[in-house]
Chains A and B, each alone.
Chain A
Amino acid sequence: MNDKNSQKNQESLSNDVEYKLDRRDFFRKSAALSATALAGTSIFAGTQAMADDPAIMNDVPWGIKLGDPVTKNRYGMPSEYEHNNTRRNAKLLSSGNWQASIAMCPIHESEGILTPNGLFFSRAHGGVAHVNPNEFRLMIHGLVEKPLVLTLDQLKRYPSVSRIHFIECPANGGPEWRGPQFNSIQFAKGMMSCAEWTGVYIKTILKDLGLKPEALWMLAEGSDNSEMGRTVPIDKVLDDAMLVWGQNGEALRPEQGYPVRLLLPGWEGNMCVKWLKRLEFSNEPFYAKEETAKYTALKPDGKAVQHFYANEVNSVITSPCPEKPWTDLKVGDLVEIEGLAWSGNGTITGVDITFDGCKNWIQADLKGLILPKAWTRFSFMYKYEGKPLVLGSRAMDDAGRMQPTIAQEVAVMGVESVYHRNSIATWEVTANGEVNNVQVRS
């Protein structure tokens, strides 16, 4: 604790700002508090003049009558008061209609690292398909000795594994290559969510099918409107690729590909093909529409990166954010700066945060579960001073990669890539605690 703080103080650029309470402070303040409490002065002084809070003084309506019977809402719903915690859409992010579009996850309201199934971001290219599970068939064919057809029940007979992984659209943040556009974390970073997925490793199924040595690629194709397909290298198939049917303890939602989707942990959400229909093994790639016309990143030299698999290391501060500002804080309040870090290349190893727009950095703490290719929470305690800040975060992973600055990323990728933008995100905190989306582009 002391070591860490002294290191932070060394690395902190503005030593005049006391960002963290050290241990000595803690004892001094507790002593002061107990002294005042004993003396019965300052802390409760003046409260006599305050009006009593009706929320305390009055009986509440729900406390003086019977509640709902437990037979109501057999599938439970959130409190009506939580109706604003919802997915949102923007016409700008649609290709003509709401079927080829995206619903953004309210990550400012996300607690912990699991996204409730009803709030999981949802992207479709030809609408959300409603598959009859009794007519679901999965075909595995191509360069295998023994092609196979499975029903849903047969697939679910395979031994299951459960893994917590994020899924992110590689266009997350894509509208902001040329500058900030949304004063909203939901729209700036909400093309992602994280869940516990249950299914079977594809390598487990392949054990009995005799994969031919010349097989280098696997086509995964959906049964939806456009038969959305993507080519997956065999390396990933034999590493951690899964066929999943479970999402946070229940069946996949239709928006996530009910009854079965491909899960390629850490890789482009688009590759995690939904409403899955078949897997075809081949010695050559397939050049499906979404891996050529889209999901390729055009660089300034006119060449485009194709097969851009992993969503690279990334992070964002979720509190404060434009939707969750600091306008209610008083100078001197202690407040937790909190955020999400994730990497499709591996596991988060650390997150730094900046208060001065990327000039100086200080290490934050990680908290909770720290899992490969999963949302990881970071935390930093800050004493609010009511002065302008430019807050940002920078994550690192165990592959040895770190988020680039905007200048570093743009120098290589330009501003027309659309996909895979993982440079450092920053919020401007104004003197009165409002939070705006800004970019540090030097």
Chain B
Amino acid sequence: MFKLDRKSLVSISLIAAVSVGLTACFGEATPGAVSFSNGSVSHTYANGKAVIDGGVTYPVVANKTSVYFVNPDTEKGGYTYGRTPTKNELDAWSKSVTPYAPPPEGSGSVSDGSDIYDAKCVMCHGDFGSGGGGYPALAKGNAYKGQKETLTHQRGITGDEGPIRVFGTYWPQASTLWWYIKEGMPHPAPKSLTDDEVYALVAYTLNINEMKIDGQLVDDDYVLDREKFLKIVMPNKDGFVPKIDGPQGPDNARAFFSDPKNIGAQTVANRCMKDCIKGENKLTRIKIETKDFLPPISVARDLPKQEGKADSNAVAMKHYEDSCKMCHGADGMGAPVVGKKKQWAPYLAKGIKAVYKNGINGINGMPPKGGTDLSDKDFKAVVDYMVSASK
């Protein structure tokens, strides 16, 4: 029923080509077209516009969409569930910050931002936003230069350097940064920053990206407020396609995705069956194999190894590797490094109980229990492991 031969595939694509703008139902008996027993399929919505992602939709015909039966009485509306939110509830949850919904009033300086950054951010994002431990970098030199010079880099094609995709070089809108810091940062303790602290961190992020506002460099003495924030123009503002702003936005997306050439897609009209590659085909094998898989790959059907009374030190070590090493495994993250006795000395001088307590409750950049959900007992075992490994 569903089988297509080459001839019918070509005719489908022809139908597809002419059907944009009108609803095409590939009926059972359309000669040369796919015999689609699954029901109606259309390249356009009921309003006549092409499907926005370049694909098809399945209009309800005879109480079926595709193979699924539907109860038409469910589609008529008339539901009375729920209630109207109060004004305060609406305000409480309408916290989007976008190019069209500016952030609240407030201000913060680069200098304050730097202090907050060192206390709450550096352990993941590294010194001056350089990144580390897999966490995203926030800056890689001058944003304007990076945007202009690196976004066309293609590793292995135009050299060994990749594009720099940090906030300054890549993001199209500053509103995204404000919104994300406010709702999602710091990662282990989101929604804990005041609006002024967010302005300060945004100012600091602009500073390390060497950015300007209204022609003025965001230098170490800069104080950012809402008015200045709204004047930020991101270097890569026009670096994205399709254009989604304004009343034409969705139609721009529609036009963009309807053309397979924009995204390297192919159509069935180009289906080649024989001698599709002239001469030798070029086979690329794995050069550097990634295999740090957890658990290791196996398809054996056997009983799991009895962990039994696993060595508690080994368990603590695993927790350390999984959850603590990002900050405690390398210099520059603001946390005492495991294995470096001197770095631990000032903490241990306060007594192990203080170390437990600060670790469990969190202090400065250290999130409560390192962001884990370990029990107090298990967490203390991890602390013991880290301390004993640093003697």
Contact = CB atoms under 8 A, between A and B. Distances in A.
Contacts of A13: 274-275
Interface in A379-398: 390, 396-398
B154 interface: yes
B253 A233 contact: yes
A180 B289 CA distance: 8
B195 interface: no
Nearest to A350: B4
A90 B292 contact: yes
A412 B293 CA distance: 32
Interface in B27-82: 34, 36, 38, 41, 43, 45, 49, 51-58, 66-68, 70-71, 74-82
Contacts of B204: none
A432 interface: no
B176 A289 contact: yes
24 contacts: A89-B294, A181-B290, A204-B79, A229-B96, A231-B244, A240-B58, A284-B249, A289-B179, A298-B163, A302-B152, A358-B277, A358-B281, A361-B274, A366-B2, A370-B38, A371-B67, A398-B36, A399-B56, A401-B265, A404-B265, A412-B261, A414-B154, A416-B154, A428-B283
B326 interface: yes
Contacts of A88: 293-295, 297
B228 interface: no
Given A396-B271, A402-B266, A420-B263, 16 more contacts: A92-B290, A126-B184, A181-B286, A204-B74, A207-B78, A235-B45, A300-B152, A309-B257, A345-B53, A346-B41, A350-B2, A390-B281, A400-B16, A401-B260, A410-B264, A442-B280
B12 A398 contact: yes
Contacts of A343: 55
Contacts of B348: none
Interface residues of A, number: 154
A234 B136 CA distance: 32
Contact of A148 (B82, B153, B276, B293): B82
Interface of B: 2-6, 9, 12-13, 16, 26, 34, 36, 38, 41, 43, 45, 49, 51-58, 66-68, 70-71, 74-85, 89-90, 93-96, 98-100, 124, 133-136, 151-158, 162-163, 165, 167, 170-173, 175-176, 179-180, 183-184, 187, 190, 239-242, 244-247, 249-250, 253-254, 256-257, 260-277, 279-295, 297-304, 322-323, 326, 371
A400 B240 contact: no
B134 A91 contact: yes
A108 interface: yes
B4 A359 contact: no
A180 B284 contact: yes
Interface string A332-362: 0000000000011111011010001111111
Contacts of A440: 277, 281-284
B277 A359 contact: yes
Contacts of A296: 240
Nearest to A303: B241
A161 B9 CA distance: 32
B291 A280 contact: no
Interface stretch (A33-41, A48-56, A219-227, A243-251): A219-227
Interface string A243-268: 00000000000000000000000110
Contacts of A306: 172, 240-242, 244
A57 B35 CA distance: 54
A28 interface: no
Contacts of A151: 82
B289 A181 contact: yes
Contact of B70 (A125, A155, A161, A405): A161
A226 B184 contact: yes
Contacts of A439: 283-284
B253 to A, nearest CB: 6
Of B70, B263, B269, the most chain A CB neighbours within 10 A belong to B263
A264 to B, nearest CB: 10
A98 B56 contact: no
A231 to B, nearest CB: 8
Given A11-B274, A287-B175, A91 B38 contact: no
B290 A187 contact: yes
A222 to B, nearest CB: 10
Contact of A350 (B3, B96, B303): B3
A67 interface: no
A280 B16 CA distance: 34
A165 B183 CA distance: 31
Contacts of B155: 178, 415-416
A357 B85 contact: no
Contact of B263 (A233, A312, A415, A436): A312
A186 B290 CA distance: 12
B250 A234 contact: yes
Interface stretch (A58-66, A79-87, A110-118): A79-87
A46 interface: no
Nearest to B82: A150
A277 interface: yes
A413 to B, nearest CB: 5
B93 to A, nearest CB: 5
Nearest to B156: A178
B242 A154 contact: no
Nearest to B148: A302
Contacts of B4: 349-350, 396
Nearest to A399: B55
A310 B54 contact: yes
A109 B300 CA distance: 11
Contacts of A304: 151, 170, 239-241
B129 to A, nearest CB: 13
A356 B279 CA distance: 12
A181 B288 contact: yes
Contacts of B90: 139, 141, 147
Given A98-B323, A298-B163, A408 B52 contact: no
